[in-house]
Structure 1
């Protein structure tokens, strides 16, 4: 039990710095995308992905990528970088479809 308490103290107290704060903020933004999606889907009574989902994805993804670069974690870096491409591409599709819809009206 002492080993577990020592580990938790090391991780959450001794190593706690501004980078960890950035990581928690980034994770909070990233988590908000699920909250936004869940609320929108509950209201619509079907699966919905609102535009805010992609903005939270980009915000959290960029900050998590910065955090991963600082931590020098190649798996985390690759995962966040690839995710950002997908999030930006989805916003691009949304913008294109909105332009087409407004041009058709």
Structure 2
């Protein structure tokens, strides 16, 4: 089973865009994927800096074989960093929408 890391914009968005992350995680899990969702990572109980969250998120991401990009990722410096690292370590890179499309195409007619 593929392990997928969800990447997308959070900083500056209402509710840190958690709704989009949780919806994508729910949909991908329903398709049978194991999902790493950074919106589920609240840290050790206190508010952390952006850099501390990114370090934790990158550790989680590197345990995956695929990174799935949410809409709007282009405006996120964190998503750009995650994408750069993903390319450097040879991870598969897809959009969340592309994963849905691929799974639907794989279903028997």
TM range, normalised to the smaller chain? under 0.3
Higher relative contact order (CA 8 A, sep 6+): 2
Greater share of helix: 1
What TM-score does the superposition give when structure 1 sets the normalisation length?
0.27
Greater share of strand: 2
Q: Which has the larger radius of gyration?
A: 1
